Amino acid sequence: MTAALAALQMVSGADPEANLQSAARLLAAAAAAGARLAVLPENFAFMGAREEDKLALAEREGEGPLQAFLASQAEQHGLWLVGGTLPLAGAEPGRVRAACLVYDDRGRQVARYDKIHLFDVALGDDEHYAESQTVAPGSAPVVLDTPLGRLGLAVCYDLRFPELFRALVDDGMELLALPAAFTATTGRAHWEVLLRARAIENLCYVVAAAQGGRHPGPRETFGESMVIDPWGAVLDRVPKGAGIAQAPFDRALLEQTRAAFPALTHRRVVAATAGGPTV
C-alpha cells in the first residue's frame, strides 16, 4: 500500500521564494512516494521576525502568487493539497485571515477554512504571543469530501479545543488535516498527547504538518510532524528540520476500528444544571 498521506514539515523563514522552493521539493518527494493527500504546515510561505510582517503578503482569495503556487503544485503532482495557512485579506485594516485552502488534484480550490482560535498567550517573561493583533478569527468549521474520505480542517491552536473536533466528526470527518507552528515550549508539553487524543476520541486519521526549527527573531517551533491512525498509533514522524511523515490510508482499518469500538455512537450529550445533581 502506498504512502497516501503526507505531512510536510518545514522551517520557513522570511524569504517567500526560498520557502516556496522548499515546499516544492517536499511536495515532489511526497508525490513520488505515492501521496494522494499532502498537508503543508502553518505559515509555510513566510515566518518573519514580527507578526505584522505577514501583512505585506496578504492576498485576496483567488488572486496572488501563493495561491497560484498551491494550485499549480496540486495539479502538477496530481494530489489533493492542504495548503497550510496563508494570509488572506479580510474586512478589517491591519488584520488578515489565517486561511487554510484545499486544492484538488486538478488544481482547483475546493475549500477554505479560516483559523478560529487565535494564539494569545504568555509562556513566560520572554515568550508571549498576540496573534489576534494581526489575525481576525474565523467562525465556521469545515469538512469536505475527498477521494480518501471526509476531511476535516483545523489549524495549530485549534487543537486545544475538543468541541471543534466533535463538530467536525458530527459532519462526517474521517481524516483530520492539521497544519501547525507549535512553539518549542508548548510542543514539548502537549503536541503529541493532544494529537493522539484527537485521533482516539474521534476515531479518525490525523495528518499533522508542523514547522520544526528556528525562525527569524527568537521563535523556535517544535516539529514532530506525524501521521496517526484511528487507534492513536503514530505511523510516522519527523522530529526536527524539513522532512515528510508518510503513511498509508487504510479505509478498512478505519471502518473496522469504528465498528469494533463504537464510541462515537455511544455519545450522550449531558446538559449542565445549576446547583449540581439532585438526590
pLDDT in tens, 103-148: 999 999 999 999 999 999 988 777 888 999 999 999 999 999 999 9
**Per-residue model confidence (pLDDT) at position 123:** 84
Query: Domain total for the chain?
Result: 1
**Per-residue model confidence (pLDDT) at position 277:** 58
**Residue 278 clears pLDDT 60, i.e. is over it:** no
The mean pLDDT of 56-65, rounded to a whole number, is 97
Catalytic residue set: 42, 115, 156
Average pLDDT, the chain: 95
Which residue pairs, CB below 8 angstroms and at least 24 apart, start in 138-144? 138/97, 138/98, 138/113, 138/114, 139/114, 140/113, 140/114, 141/113, 141/116, 141/167, 141/168, 141/171, 142/111, 142/112, 142/113, 143/168, 143/171, 143/172, 143/173, 144/102, 144/110, 144/111
Question: Is residue 171 a part of any domain in this protein?
Answer: yes
Question: Is residue 161 a part of any domain in this protein?
Answer: yes
CA 254 to chain centre: 20
Question: Is residue 273 a part of any domain in this protein?
Answer: no
Which grid coordinates belong to 247? 503513511
Question: Is residue 178 a part of any domain in this protein?
Answer: yes
Q: Domain holding 231: CATH number?
A: 3.60.110.10
Pairing of strands 80-82, 86-89: unpaired
Question: Is residue 81 a part of any domain in this protein?
Answer: yes
**Residue 276 clears pLDDT 90, i.e. is over it:** no
Question: Is residue 104 a part of any domain in this protein?
Answer: yes
In DSSP terms, 109 is beta-bridged to 103
The mean pLDDT of 171-176, rounded to a whole number, is 98
Provide the pLDDT confidence category of residue 62 given band limits of 50, 70 and 90: very high
The mean pLDDT of 63-80, rounded to a whole number, is 98
Lowest mean pLDDT across 21-35, 189-203, 260-274: 260-274
CA distances from 138 to 70, 97, 127, 141, 142 (A): 21, 7, 25, 9, 11
Domain hosting residue 212, numbered range: 5-266
Residue among 89, 85, 91 at smallest CA distance from 55: 89
**Residue 172 clears pLDDT 70, i.e. is over it:** yes
Q: Would the CA dihedral through 168, 99, 44, 3 be positive or negative? A: positive
**Per-residue model confidence (pLDDT) at position 1:** 64
The mean pLDDT of 214-224, rounded to a whole number, is 94
The mean pLDDT of 152-169, rounded to a whole number, is 98
**Per-residue model confidence (pLDDT) at position 250:** 97
Question: Is residue 272 a part of any domain in this protein?
Answer: no
pTM: 0.95
